[in-house]
Amino acid sequence: TEIEEAVRVKVGGTELSDSEYTVTQVDPFVEVTLVDAPGIGTEIEISIVKSTVMYAQGVSTASNGIALQEQTTSAARFITGDS
């Protein structure tokens, strides 16, 4: 699913590939099962990558065709200093 694709796992500072873990739960929190157990005391970091849409969506396209500097989305307004 999309949420599983957004999950990133680092073990000892190295990001794991998708084949090195399985997302076993996403709500109300993310839970993963690692293929290989890390050593005792090894730091594990689990994060979810999020993004913000800069452009307003068109009817049948990803963008409404208006230039970024003229967009009224909150992300675009932040960039132009109008937030």
Check whether 69 has a pLDDT greater than 80: yes
Report DSSP letters for 18-54, one per residue: GGGEEEEE-SSS-EEEESSPPPTT--EEEEE------
34 vs 20: CA distance, rounded Å: 6
Structural tokens at position 61? 């396209």
Confidence (pTM): 0.60
Length of the chain, in residues: 83
Which pLDDT tens digit goes with each residue over 11-66?
Answer: 999 999 999 999 998 888 889 999 999 999 999 999 988 777 788 888 888 888 88
Amino acid at 59: V
In the structure, what pLDDT confidence band is assigned to residue 71 with cuts at 50, 70 and 90?
confident
